Structure 1
Amino acid sequence: MNTQDVFDHRQVRRAFSRAAGSYSAAAALQREIESRLFESLDYLGDQVPTSILDLGSGPGTGALELRRRWPKARVVAMDLALPMLRQVAPKRGWNPLQRPIDRVCADARALPLADDSVDLIFSNLCLQWVEDLDALFVGFRRVLRPGGLLLVSTFGPDTLHELRASFAAADAADHVSPFPAIAAFGDALMRAGFRDPVLDRDVDVHRHADMAGLMRGLRELGATNALAARRRALTGRGRFAAAQTAYEQWRGEDGLLPATWETITAMAWAPAHGQPIREGGEDVARFPASGIPVRRRGGG
């Protein structure tokens, strides 16, 4: 693990691997946000992608819908957790008229895909586990063909602010991940050279009987504390009780505790070859090797 990492990515993999069996039943919010992303696919118009990446695919609901829309396209379901990918299966068995979904276990930070090989990158609630958005978007731009569509969602900084503040009142250690603001997310897209970015922000509030129920639901989703600087010992009963007491200030008239989820969705288009990208404080332009003219000298 790099000492500069915000997240312990091995812990991210372990948490989502353990949650593979419970994720689908617990992922109501994730499915709702996924449906919002699907609505944005209308911006493709008559374009028919031939190669699609569902990044952070989880149990594959997005990949299955993408293949339903474009049955002739190659759809790649990619996830960091292998047990999640084992959940990716057709709802009604194998169909000889549809291409199978390719499953790839890989890290979003190092996409094992060729340059200019993808028409659409679709990613629902995966990017909040990556600390370096600039490097991530450089990788996206590398694999997207010019004019390809990037369609993603992530969580914003107001997410679980009640839980964050409650633990802060009881414990100096961080318990809730940091999330990028919508401005930072958009700036990273622009630095990577993406065209015409459109970003939206939504806030959903879910309600729970108690903090223990909220924490249990987070574990079922794989959304546990994966911060590199987290305390490795279990949270003691005293600290947990203090956090529960602090959370009570938000209990509503309905008798339930709110949990806020701020969602950022973004859509942007890959630029043509040669448009500069910001790397290491300098503008760098890339061109495909096939686009470099070769002059042949006559032989004697």
Structure 2
Amino acid sequence: MPDSLPVPPADLRRRIREAFAAAAAHYDHHAEVQRAIVADLLAWIELSAPARLPTLDAGCGTGYASAALRTDDAPVIGLDLADTMARQALRRGEHGIAGDLECLPLRDGCVGRYWSSLAWQWCASGAAAAEAARVLASGGVLQVATLGPDTLRELREVFAAIDGAEHVRSFEPPDAVLAALRHAGFRSIRFKQCTQTGFAPDLASLLRDIRGVGAHTLGDSRRRGMLGRQAWQRLCDAYEVHREAAGLPARYDVLMFEAIR
């Protein structure tokens, strides 16, 4: 088995689903970085999927990528863990259903392309890769963008100076995802690592954007209470050393993968 993080327990999966469900109505307002990563993945991929088989947009959110993926001969199935996200995709005019990437409600070999942008970081890569391999037809292609361990590194560092609680989620390293893909039977694997950066005028706005897309669910070591006023001010002051001309940066460690089933 690949060396990866353990499968999240059911209560954590529930919290992840609830966070994204709550964010669905205002997700697009906060999702500038997420849209940029979709564009990065679209620009980087090389492989074409088998003709006439559907594309699965796994973790479709509000359906932004689904619209870009649709072709005349290949419909798109949008799927998201949060049913309210899937309904937002329907309102956009895309096909959206609720489902878990670790247990897809699809039959074996039914899709020609498995696409996923910024959903695998909320899964165990071994489970997600196995399900992707199961639903892909032979010769089908996988195209995934996920987040690596350096995501929001500055935010993690300044919080660590305040207390020992978990404030920023940890993500799998690229070697773990590559091992999961190989174990699931994928071949001709391509990989690229890059950085995408969002900016905010202040730390409160930066954290609001993270929460606004539902990306704030943490494990059992998370802090339960609010930071005090003095601790919050120390946090803001510490983050100011990272300020750039465009504002306070939120850097995302983006891992992109392409492979053949």
- TM norm structure 1: 0.78
Are the counterparts in 2 of residues 251 and 257 from structure 1 also a CA contact under 8 Å?
yes
Tell me, in whole angstroms, the C-alpha distance in 1 between the residues paired with 2:121 and 2:8: 16
Question: CA distance change for structure 1 residues 204 and 181 in 2, over 3 Å: closer, same or farther?
Answer: same
Which of 48, 65, 70 is the aligned partner of 2:68? Answer: 65
Helix, strand or coil: the match of 1:21? helix
Which of 177, 195, 199 is the aligned partner of 2:169? Answer: 177
CA shift digits 1:189-230 (9 cap, x unpaired): 112221011010111233322211100111111111332432
Tell me, in whole angstroms, the C-alpha distance in 2 between the residues paired with 1:7 and 1:223: 16
Query: 1:84 — aligned with what?
Result: 85
Tell me, in whole angstroms, the C-alpha distance in 1 between the residues paired with 2:131 and 2:22: 28
Are the counterparts in 2 of residues 51 and 117 from structure 1 also a CA contact under 8 Å?
yes
CA shift digits 1:95-135 (9 cap, x unpaired): xxxxx8432101111111111111111101001111x2112
Tell me, in whole angstroms, the C-alpha distance in 2 between the residues paired with 1:7 and 1:257: 33
Tell me, in whole angstroms, the C-alpha distance in 1 between the residues paired with 2:10 and 2:199: 29
Helix, strand or coil: the match of 1:73? coil
Helix, strand or coil: the match of 2:177? helix
Deviation at 1:41, TM superposition (A): 5.0
Query: 1:27 — aligned with what?
Result: 31
Are the counterparts in 1 of residues 81 and 98 from structure 2 also a CA contact under 8 Å?
yes
CA RMSD of aligned residues (A): 2.4
Query: 1:286 — aligned with what?
Result: none
Which of 20, 42, 50 is the aligned partner of 1:16? Answer: 20
Query: 2:119 — aligned with what?
Result: 126
CA shift digits 1:49-70 (9 cap, x unpaired): 4121101000101112222xx2
Tell me, in whole angstroms, the C-alpha distance in 1 between the residues paired with 2:106 and 2:249: 41
Which shows bigger deviation, 229-238 or 31-40?
Answer: 229-238
Tell me, in whole angstroms, the C-alpha distance in 1 between the residues paired with 2:155 and 2:146: 18
- Aligned partner of 2:203: which letter? M
Greater relative CO, 1 or 2 (CA 8 Å, sep 6+): 2
Query: 1:144 — aligned with what?
Result: 136
Larger radius of gyration: 1
Query: 2:101 — aligned with what?
Result: 108
Structure 2 segments unaligned to the other structure (5+ residues): 1-5
Deviation at 1:242, TM superposition (A): 3.0
Query: 1:51 — aligned with what?
Result: 54
Structure 1 segments unaligned to the other structure (5+ residues): 92-99, 271-300
Tell me, in whole angstroms, the C-alpha distance in 1 between the residues paired with 2:121 and 2:10: 11
- Aligned partner of 1:181: which letter? P
Which of 253, 258, 261 is the aligned partner of 1:267? Answer: 258
Size of the aligned set, in residue pairs, is 256
1:251 to 2:255 alignment: no
Tell me, in whole angstroms, the C-alpha distance in 1 between the residues paired with 2:112 and 2:55: 6
Are the counterparts in 2 of residues 7 and 129 from structure 1 also a CA contact under 8 Å?
no
Are the counterparts in 2 of residues 198 and 268 from structure 1 also a CA contact under 8 Å?
yes
Tell me, in whole angstroms, the C-alpha distance in 1 between the residues paired with 2:15 and 2:204: 21
Question: CA distance change for structure 1 residues 269 and 38 in 2, over 3 Å: closer, same or farther?
Answer: same
| Identity across the alignment (%) | 35
Which shows bigger deviation, 31-40 or 162-171?
Answer: 31-40
Question: CA distance change for structure 1 residues 73 and 255 in 2, over 3 Å: closer, same or farther?
Answer: closer
Tell me, in whole angstroms, the C-alpha distance in 2 between the residues paired with 1:260 and 1:39: 20
- TM norm structure 2: 0.89
Query: 1:74 — aligned with what?
Result: 75
Tell me, in whole angstroms, the C-alpha distance in 2 between the residues paired with 1:171 and 1:221: 25
Question: CA distance change for structure 1 residues 245 and 189 in 2, over 3 Å: closer, same or farther?
Answer: same
Question: CA distance change for structure 1 residues 143 and 153 in 2, over 3 Å: closer, same or farther?
Answer: same
Tell me, in whole angstroms, the C-alpha distance in 1 between the residues paired with 2:52 and 2:33: 27
